[in-house]
Amino acid sequence: MNLPQRLGVLTSGGDCPGVNAVIRGAVLGGTVAHGYEFVGFRDGWRGVLEDDLLPLPRRAVRGISGLGGTILGTSRTNPLSEGGVEAVRGSMRRHRLEGLIAIGGEGTLAAGKALSDQGVNVVGVPKSIDNDLGATDYTFGFDSAVQTATEAIDRLRTTGESHHRCMIAEVMGRNAGWIALHAGMASGAHAILIPEHRVALKQVAAWVTSARDRGRAPLVVVAEAFTPEGQDAPYAPRGLDTFGRPRLGGIGLALERELQQLTGIETRATVLGHIQRGGEPTAFDRVLATRLGMAAVGAAAAGRWGTMVSLRGTEIVNVGLEQALGALKVVPEARYREAAVLFG
Amino acid sequence: MNLPQRLGVLTSGGDCPGVNAVIRGAVLGGTVAHGYEFVGFRDGWRGVLEDDLLPLPRRAVRGISGLGGTILGTSRTNPLSEGGVEAVRGSMRRHRLEGLIAIGGEGTLAAGKALSDQGVNVVGVPKSIDNDLGATDYTFGFDSAVQTATEAIDRLRTTGESHHRCMIAEVMGRNAGWIALHAGMASGAHAILIPEHRVALKQVAAWVTSARDRGRAPLVVVAEAFTPEGQDAPYAPRGLDTFGRPRLGGIGLALERELQQLTGIETRATVLGHIQRGGEPTAFDRVLATRLGMAAVGAAAAGRWGTMVSLRGTEIVNVGLEQALGALKVVPEARYREAAVLFG
Amino acid sequence: MNLPQRLGVLTSGGDCPGVNAVIRGAVLGGTVAHGYEFVGFRDGWRGVLEDDLLPLPRRAVRGISGLGGTILGTSRTNPLSEGGVEAVRGSMRRHRLEGLIAIGGEGTLAAGKALSDQGVNVVGVPKSIDNDLGATDYTFGFDSAVQTATEAIDRLRTTGESHHRCMIAEVMGRNAGWIALHAGMASGAHAILIPEHRVALKQVAAWVTSARDRGRAPLVVVAEAFTPEGQDAPYAPRGLDTFGRPRLGGIGLALERELQQLTGIETRATVLGHIQRGGEPTAFDRVLATRLGMAAVGAAAAGRWGTMVSLRGTEIVNVGLEQALGALKVVPEARYREAAVLFG
Amino acid sequence: MNLPQRLGVLTSGGDCPGVNAVIRGAVLGGTVAHGYEFVGFRDGWRGVLEDDLLPLPRRAVRGISGLGGTILGTSRTNPLSEGGVEAVRGSMRRHRLEGLIAIGGEGTLAAGKALSDQGVNVVGVPKSIDNDLGATDYTFGFDSAVQTATEAIDRLRTTGESHHRCMIAEVMGRNAGWIALHAGMASGAHAILIPEHRVALKQVAAWVTSARDRGRAPLVVVAEAFTPEGQDAPYAPRGLDTFGRPRLGGIGLALERELQQLTGIETRATVLGHIQRGGEPTAFDRVLATRLGMAAVGAAAAGRWGTMVSLRGTEIVNVGLEQALGALKVVPEARYREAAVLFG
């Protein structure tokens, strides 16, 4: 008698709404449609390296598609450290795993590619609230982050109008300004500031003043990594993160100070921060994430290792992991110009 | 000195979240980028036929992208009635309008095509919470309807679990089951029933019983126009609507009765109804609608009359109105099968 | 060495947001502050009668204060059936329970009183989304039901305005119109119809017409048990519920028909139904429910059996169970008149 | 023929959800029930001093009960400046106003008292998202602030759990910790830190470590004005506000640094900031605010000048303005101890 084939699932990198829906889609779809058994590794690659895992029968994923976070935990452990590849192979052999479903961002997909090049069976599911991964129209989690940011900015707007203030909302976006672009357009911002498109503070002040002169309470949405033209580096990093990269933040408060001085308009900044990463995914993200999870297992069943699943139009397709790597997907100049028409 | 060119805007058919964002995108984009002036017709084609209109300066569209409904009002008036085309021409001449931006569903786009064929300048913006119009990946309003339905179904689920009941949610979908498909997948339904795919009640009862036997509170999401296999017509129409078509509704309550009898499980149906049509659009719909409005004016400025704007992947494109007409966009069998994997 | 004292917890009757927060408040508060151990009975009194229970250590109630439904399940089983009291005593003796924390509505509190009169140790926690229990300012669950109804009615309003329609929202309220009163006032209804205050349909039509004449889209909020003046019984009961009582519903659709005829205004009704009972409790209800759960255990620890906990102003107090029984708490005439000022 | 009597309405101080519902309740209630006419002053006392006002017919307050902010604008202008009282009298005389409905916080109520003592007719409506005004069970706006904070903290919690981090949410509360107390209890915080109750950082670290040791992701909710025991002043004021008071903020980030060091647990703080002040009021606040507005006009009609309206249990009552002044309403020690039972 044949034993059922087995896959491992892991979730890596920053929290992102929809991860649980991917897990559920993979486990439920894989169990029902392909007869797979699943195990889940705890805390991403750490669980693989340290052989820390749990069984994932279908009842373990009941009702989780709407839950924020990840039932498997996450970490920023890199599997390509010294001895890592052997440890991954060992764990897969011990637990009789045909392959891994790796749900993660750029680092995880790059690691998946490197493992795959060394013969380890991996299918990737791209994950980024920032929507900055290539080869997919959208990453899951992005829609939820934009929705949360937009609801928060809607709240700020009413206060701006009551007080005739300029309100600034700092949103996430380490490399790309997608959240700022979408949340800013959705909330009717008078200026959207993104890292891809440098703008001088004087220009921002001019937009703010012009909105005020039309009787509006100016609203500025700024991505955390925006750097004004003529300035060397993002504002005020606060220490280092667990990768040793500078932690961003500070542009919101810096703009508060600078714009108030340049325009004479009372200005208040709010840093939305981690509320953009957590909590229940939108219905859009739940559907996208569920389909990605199911498709990832389908790719595994078809032996398409070294690939990842992605959204193209309304279809879920399968592309080589290398396509998501290299250049990040940034906001094209045309999309910024389109949004900027509405500033004025 | 040249007078500025002028466009008329009208909104027609059923209410849909995001209409105001289209109006704002068109007026603000058209004013700033193209120097247009705008007028708005009240209550769709009725306003055109009866010359009932108001100026739409940019301040009239301030802050409306997040508002539900339409500031212009809507109706189901058909402009192709006796003398209609002449009335449209007359109104456009009197108000010196170069063309019309017509925001509406299948009826409006068909009327726009007919008018266009007779030399009236029209650009269409497809609108349908049901997402059943062709030639666009999604219609605006659909995402909001799915989000609202999903939040409501999430609420029903907890009650089902507390009481060990089968809960049924009837959602909109006169011709196509897109809302049921997406809201059902997002909420983890154990059966999704859509008009495109007939299923016998015994099969539904089997899905319900199987869910109960796995310890779950069965959850059924049904589109209003679903007809069980072996039955002649949708359930229990309640009178006629303003088009003289039977008003649907009733399948939810009919299923409540039938499934309770077939399964012996206490069953409760909720008809979500008009809450899916109204209220604030999601950020996704606000962005999509804003971009569609801007692109519609861009099409007008480029003289691409007889076209409509639509979403393809992440791009807004321009297609002939005829492409949206003819066959409605229904749920493909592959998408239904994909969702059905999760029922079992 | 003394064994820790033990209490049983049960949840009975209709689903209600906040039940899990009561359970958590009781278990966590009782464990930490009083050293109690807890067991939970499954599905209300059924679990007591059938000895179906589970241990409730503090980790079982982790993170549940925001979850809808009840982790213990519920039923409408009545413990006062033949042999019931002896079964309750037997179960308590077998599991060494000092007393019961009974979370439920009028039926459960009445049963608690009867049991208490026969020497069974019970503390009640009053539960009703309808807010119709006496001796407490509010019942938990009511605020969540009103919030859910208000959000839904806000959605209906925009559709009414777009179409110049009269929109009707039917809300819960079997004996009292509290949900209709609060949700109607919160959403700016032009007529609120409650069972406590009969109004002739002509009067309702006059309010609707007057709102329309002022340029508004008329909005009517009606409690399921409202009966128009001059009529014998609530509309169109659909079968019987599990108590053998007629299931209400139907007034919304009846009003749709009648008001459209009386006013000539296109009218649409939506029956909000079970979405008012389920889903996440509001912060208000989570705080109230948590405090009630803690106070119930405090009452048990103080030996105040035969009492229930209730809200008075901002304080949680302890009153005799008999105070909640007898007359239901209905909407006083003064509160209705206050709301009615805003109809006109 | 008698001219109708007239009242002026003004809104003063920080933004607060529900102000528009008060205005609507006052204007609609006053117009319908008492035949009053209304004018609104722009930007609080500034409008009175500078005679900047607009008519407020009932159609001006249509549909605003659910809107955040204030349609009248607000400012922190103090009417008791040099010549202020005479300016107030002059404006009231010129516009034939019998009295003023002043909606504001402690400063406005104190000014109202001083004006009243000098014979100016004022009725106050207490307003504070912080809930720190005496003589009323709750101020309107507080429930909305708690709900917004709780939803945000729910989002933070999932991220904390995915990453095994300690999450800190800094909420508003300049003088009193009511928002922290309620949002912390609603979200199941493992530590709640308020200005009324000083706690040493070591104690906070012990709570955090204990939660981690029980397998939880520690969650800390801190009011902006909390000062740890053994420290002289609140953390890191950022400049001065428009009153010349230090702007608070900084405790969240300071705790992030300190707790991470004391516990070795990765810790992240989010400052919720202005999202707590803006946006749509909850249904609870809409009902409360509407009733307060109606009651304020009722007090004016009864000649009860020098009073304010307040909530007692479920009733709106009328108390002397002096009762709200003097001591702020802080969190009683018993309420803090009740909440603290759940930390452990």
**Helix, strand and coil in chain A, % to nearest 5:** 40, 20, 40
D125: domain CATH number?
3.40.50.450
Alpha-carbon gap, residue B13 to B45, rounded angstroms: 10
What confidence score (pLDDT) does residue D255 get?
Answer: 95
Q: Which of C11, C158, C273 sits opposite B68 (nearest CB)?
A: C158
Task: Kindly tell me the number of DSSP H helices and DSSP E strands found in chain A.
Answer: 10, 11
Rounded mean pLDDT, C42-62: 96
β pairing state of A99-104 and A122-126: parallel
C300 lies in a domain?
yes
Task: Tell me which residue has tokens 């019942």.
Answer: C139
Q: Which of D28, D185, D216 sits opposite C287 (nearest CB)?
A: D185
What confidence score (pLDDT) does residue B74 get?
Answer: 97
Query: H helices within chain B, ranges in order?
Result: 19-34, 45-49, 84-94, 106-117, 142-163, 178-187, 201-213, 251-263, 283-301, 333-340
Same-domain pairing of B226 and B149: yes
What confidence score (pLDDT) does residue D268 get?
Answer: 96
Three-class secondary structure of residue A219 per DSSP: strand
Is D314 close to C137, i.e. CB distance below 8 A?
yes
Alpha-carbon gap, residue B171 to C344, rounded angstroms: 34
Final residue of a domain: which of B262, B277, B292? B277
Is A278 close to D238, i.e. CB distance below 8 A?
no
DSSP A13-52: SS--TTHHHHHHHHHHHHHHHH--EEEEETTTHHHHHTT-
How many domains in chain C? 2
CA distance to partner chain B, nearest, from residue A130 (Å): 15
Answer whether C197 touches D (CB < 8 Å): no
Position C244 pLDDT exceeds 80: no
Binning pLDDT at 50, 70 and 90, where does residue A2 land? confident
B339 lies in a domain?
no
- Optimal mutation site among C19, C71, C159, C212, interface B, most CBs of chain B within 10 A: C159
A30 lies in a domain?
yes
- The annotation status of C268 as a binding-site residue, yes or no, is yes
Least confident interval from A6-10, A277-281, C227-231, D65-69: C227-231
Same-domain pairing of C248 and C292: no
Helix (H) or strand (E) holding D33: helix D19-34
Please report all neighbours of A, defined by 3+ CB atom pairs within 8 A. Answer: B, D
Rounded mean pLDDT, A148-157: 98
Rounded mean pLDDT, D144-165: 97
Same-domain pairing of C77 and C186: no
Answer whether C268 touches B (CB < 8 Å): yes
C329 lies in a domain?
no
Q: Which of D25, D186, D214 sits opposite C283 (nearest CB)?
A: D186
Same-domain pairing of A119 and A150: no
Known binding positions of D for Mg(2+)? 106
CA distance to partner chain A, nearest, from residue B137 (Å): 6
Same-domain pairing of A110 and A85: yes
Answer whether B244 touches A (CB < 8 Å): no
Is C157 close to D33, i.e. CB distance below 8 A?
no
Is C150 close to D187, i.e. CB distance below 8 A?
no
Answer whether C188 touches D (CB < 8 Å): yes
Catalytic residue among C15, C43, C117, C130: C130
What confidence score (pLDDT) does residue D232 get?
Answer: 72
Answer whether C282 touches D (CB < 8 Å): yes
Binning pLDDT at 50, 70 and 90, where does residue B244 land? low
Rounded mean pLDDT, C152-162: 97
- The annotation status of A14 as a binding-site residue, yes or no, is yes
Return the residue of C nearest to D282 by Cα.
C147
Position B96 pLDDT exceeds 60: yes
Same-domain pairing of A152 and A264: yes
Return the residue of D nearest to C189 by Cα.
D63
Is D271 close to A274, i.e. CB distance below 8 A?
no
Query: H helices within chain C, ranges in order?
Result: 19-34, 45-49, 84-94, 106-117, 142-163, 178-186, 201-213, 251-263, 283-301, 333-340
Is D155 close to A19, i.e. CB distance below 8 A?
no
Return the residue of A nearest to B280 by Cα.
A151
Alpha-carbon gap, residue A171 to A226, rounded angstroms: 10
Question: Are A219 and A190 within 8 A, CB to CB?
Answer: yes
Final residue of a domain: which of C241, C256, C278? C278
Q: Which of B66, B147, B342 sits opposite A282 (nearest CB)?
A: B147
Same-domain pairing of C319 and C259: no
Same-domain pairing of D181 and D32: no
- Residue C169 φ then ψ, to 5°: -115, 120
Is C271 close to B271, i.e. CB distance below 8 A?
yes
What confidence score (pLDDT) does residue B55 get?
Answer: 98
Helix (H) or strand (E) holding D41: strand D37-41
What confidence score (pLDDT) does residue A130 get?
Answer: 97
C128 lies in a domain?
yes
Please report all neighbours of D, defined by 3+ CB atom pairs within 8 A. Answer: A, C
Is B338 close to A183, i.e. CB distance below 8 A?
no
CA distance to partner chain C, nearest, from residue D169 (Å): 16
CA distances from residue D246 to D198, D222, D237, D239 in whole angstroms, order as listed: 20, 18, 6, 6
Length, in residues, of chain D = 344
Helix (H) or strand (E) holding D282: none
Is C28 close to D312, i.e. CB distance below 8 A?
no
What confidence score (pLDDT) does residue C249 get?
Answer: 60
Same-domain pairing of D65 and D99: yes
Q: Which of D167, D270, D278 sits opposite A156 (nearest CB)?
A: D278
How confident is the model over D64-115, as pLDDT tens digits?
999 999 999 999 999 998 899 999 999 999 999 999 999 999 999 999 999 9
Is C150 close to D283, i.e. CB distance below 8 A?
yes
Token duo for residue A270: 């709010």
Alpha-carbon gap, residue B144 to A281, rounded angstroms: 14
CA distance to partner chain B, nearest, from residue A156 (Å): 13
Please list, in sequence order, all residues whose beta carbon lies within 8 angstroms of the beta carbon of residue D264, skipping any fewer than 6 positions away: none
Same-domain pairing of D152 and D269: yes
Answer whether A156 touches D (CB < 8 Å): yes
Known binding positions of D? 14, 76-77, 105-108, 165, 172-174, 224, 268, 274-277
Answer whether A2 touches B (CB < 8 Å): no
Q: Which of B43, B268, B278 sits opposite C156 (nearest CB)?
A: B278
Alpha-carbon gap, residue B105 to B82, rounded angstroms: 21
A124 lies in a domain?
yes
What confidence score (pLDDT) does residue D327 get?
Answer: 83
Binning pLDDT at 50, 70 and 90, where does residue C282 land? very high
How confident is the model over D172-190, as pLDDT tens digits?
999 999 999 999 999 999 9
- Residue C232 φ then ψ, to 5°: -85, -35
Final residue of a domain: which of B277, B309, B337? B277
The angle subtended at Cα B309 by Cα B74 and Cα B132, nearest 5°, is 65
Catalytic residues of D: 130
Is C155 close to B278, i.e. CB distance below 8 A?
yes
B181: domain CATH number?
3.40.50.460
Catalytic residue among A15, A43, A130, A143: A130
- The annotation status of A167 as a binding-site residue, yes or no, is no
- Optimal mutation site among D167, D341, D343, interface C, most CBs of chain C within 10 A: D341
Alpha-carbon gap, residue B91 to B316, rounded angstroms: 30
Answer whether B333 touches C (CB < 8 Å): no
What confidence score (pLDDT) does residue D257 get?
Answer: 93
What confidence score (pLDDT) does residue B3 get?
Answer: 80
A vs D, Cβ pairs < 8 A, gives 110
CA distance to partner chain A, nearest, from residue B48 (Å): 28
CA distances from residue D62 to B85, C188, C190, D59, D74 in whole angstroms, order as listed: 37, 9, 11, 5, 20
Binning pLDDT at 50, 70 and 90, where does residue D11 land? very high
Same-domain pairing of C220 and C273: yes
B1 lies in a domain?
no
DSSP D299-340: HHHTT-TTEEEEEETTEEEEEEGGGGSSS--PPPHHHHHHHH
How confident is the model over A44-70, as pLDDT tens digits?
999 999 999 999 999 999 999 999 999
Domain extent at residue D298: 6-140+281-324
Least confident interval from A183-187, B229-233, D225-229: B229-233
Q: Which of D284, D294, D341 sits opposite C338 (nearest CB)?
A: D294
Position A43 pLDDT exceeds 90: yes
Answer whether D334 touches C (CB < 8 Å): no
C340 lies in a domain?
no
Same-domain pairing of C127 and C98: yes
Three-class secondary structure of residue B272 per DSSP: coil
Is A69 close to D158, i.e. CB distance below 8 A?
yes
CA distance to partner chain A, nearest, from residue D1 (Å): 39
